[in-house]
Amino acid sequence: MEETKRYYRNPDGTVRMLGGVNFTPPLYEDEGVQEITKEEFDGAVAAHRAEQQRRAREQEAAEQAEAHGAYDMLRALPGITNEVASRLTGYHPPEEAVTPADEP
CB proximity list for 99: less than 8 A, separation 6 or greater = none
Residue 39: how many CB atoms within 10 A of its CB? 9
CB proximity list for 33: less than 8 A, separation 6 or greater = 8, 9, 10, 11
**Segment 43-99, tens digit of pLDDT:** 999 999 999 999 999 999 999 999 999 999 999 999 999 899 999 999 988 876 666
- Domain extent listing, the chain: 56-104
Whether this prediction's pTM lies above 0.75 is answered by no
**Segment 3-47, tens digit of pLDDT:** 788 899 988 989 988 887 777 777 666 788 888 999 999 999 999
Q: How far is residue 82's CA from residue 38's CA, in Å, rounded to a whole number? A: 54
